Amino acid sequence: MKTRCPCCGTTLSLDALVAHEAARAALACLFRIGGDLGAAICRYLALFRPRERELSMERVARLLEQVAIDITAGAIDRRGQTHLAPPEAWVWAIRQALDARDAGRLKTPLTGHGYLYEVLVSWPGPQPRGTVEPTAAAPVSKTARAIRALEDRAK
């Protein structure tokens, strides 16, 4: 089934996307994220595209998988500290990154998620328990962060 991209007008076969392993993985990841954040992540991926060519679906899937782990956990690690990062923080940070690109303050293509994570750390929204600092003797695992984020949401 042929479809037309609402952003660029390119014709694309939906069947081909579903048949391609990396494209299918990328779509599945986006569907799991969903909502405003899923749409924001799609726009964020454009920051990784070189001017002269497109992103490969393998790269798209890899980029999505990298952030999906922390999105699901609801927290990020930055410079030895764990910061809460609910979906609204991600949407806000992506908007900040896109605004920085549009204003010429962000050089693209990006090579990693470092800029986004730096912006996330400065999210002005509520931090239910503030910034959580893991101790050197007992580093906080991603599983523990995910459990903590779920407990915080339940409260």
Q: Which two tokens stand for residue 96?
A: 């900040």
Q: What is the pLDDT of residues 129-142, one digit of tens each?
A: 444 444 333 445 66
> Which of the four pLDDT bands, split at 50, 70 and 90, describes residue 7?
low
Spatial contact of 22 and 60, defined as CB atoms under 8 Å apart:
yes
Q: What is the residue extent of each domain of the chain?
A: 11-154
* Percent of the chain predicted with pLDDT > 70: 78
pLDDT of 100: 96
What's the per-residue H, E or C state across the chain?
A: CEEECCCCCCEEEHHHHHHCHHHHHHHHHHHHHCHHHHHHHHHHHHHHCCCCCCCCHHHHHHHHHHHHHHHHHCEEEECCEEEECCHHHHHHHHHHHHHHHHCCCCCCCCCCCHHHHHHHHCCCCCCCCCCECCCCCCCCCHHHHHHHHHHHHHC
* Percent of the chain predicted with pLDDT > 90: 48
> Which of the four pLDDT bands, split at 50, 70 and 90, describes residue 48?
very high
Mean pLDDT of the region 103-113? 95
Whole-number mean pLDDT of the chain?
Answer: 83
